[in-house]
Copies of this chain bind each other. A is one copy, B any other.
Amino acid sequence: MNIGEVSEAAGLPAKTIRYYEEIGLIAPLRGGNGYRRFTEAHLHKLAFIARARSLGFSIEQCRTLLALYEDRGRASADVKAVAQTHLGEIDAKMAELTEMRRVLADLVHACAGDERPDCPILTGLAAPVTGD
């Protein structure tokens, strides 16, 4: 397969696949014309990466997961550890966003949103709201 076909099949832009090759995530063959040639195994790997990425795993985590995937002697505990680390990262981001959302929603709620200049959002940013 050429890059266009795997791109379509894996749901990844061709540019991204070239980038993955550049950073050593995949190693497609080359045809006599210089075109990358992909096998089914390459496609599987790319689809694996695409799914891992869509779950938010970093490229380095994907690299680790791929290595574990291809290591028949792996311990599932090692996989689980990577996934749990990532789950923790997701939870941390969610907590951060939740807190942002809470504060921001309060400010938005307090703002009249008309043509007058008075704006609790701006005063809230100029000085944090305290309990006083």
Contact = CB atoms under 8 A, between A and B. Distances in A.
B121 A83 contact: yes
B65 A125 contact: yes
* Number of copies of this chain that the complex holds: 2
Given A65-B122, A111-B80, A74 B104 contact: no
Q: Main SS of chain A's interface residues?
A: helix
25 contacts: A48-B126, A51-B125, A52-B125, A54-B100, A55-B100, A68-B119, A69-B125, A73-B117, A74-B117, A75-B117, A76-B117, A76-B119, A77-B115, A79-B111, A80-B121, A81-B113, A83-B107, A83-B111, A83-B121, A84-B108, A86-B104, A87-B101, A87-B104, A90-B104, A91-B101
